[in-house]
Amino acid sequence: MEDCIFCKIIKGEIPSEKVYEDEDILAFKDINPAAPIHVLIIPKKHIATLMDITPEDNELMTKIMNAVQKVAKIVGADEKGFRLIANCGPDSGQEVMHIHFHLLAGRKMGPKIVH
């Protein structure tokens, strides 16, 4: 997608601090971290929101969850834990219209599901 900031990161047109990459997935550090560890995990396929995922993407979604585990291990959050957040649509405050999962770790998370 031409004007998508995350597609540009995937293509290397915008720099990022990569944490993990494979054929289908990229994980990189959030530019404005909300926790000591804040990684964004995204599919290389452009999908605008969680509501745009179709059954055709089932395998891809499984791969994203596999990547979540890999990233958690890479950043050392597999034992102590982490929070995984995905915003969808205007009320959630989703800013980038390319699905992404925020992996937050490195501190105790509050009781409220916010970041």
Catalytic positions are 100
Q: How far is the CB of 98 from ligand AMP (least distance, A)?
A: 9
Stretch of 26-34, 48-56, 69-77, 106-114 lying at the interface with ligand AMP (CB under 6 A): 26-34
Alpha carbon 113 to its chain's center: 16
Is 87 near ligand AMP (CB under 6 A)?
yes
Residue range at the interface with ligand AMP (CB under 6 A); choices 18-26, 50-58, 60-68, 91-99? 91-99
Residue 53 φ/ψ, nearest 5 degrees: -70, 140
Q: Which residues pair with 25 in a beta bridge?
A: 43
Half-sphere exposure for 31 (CA within 13 Å, toward CB):
7
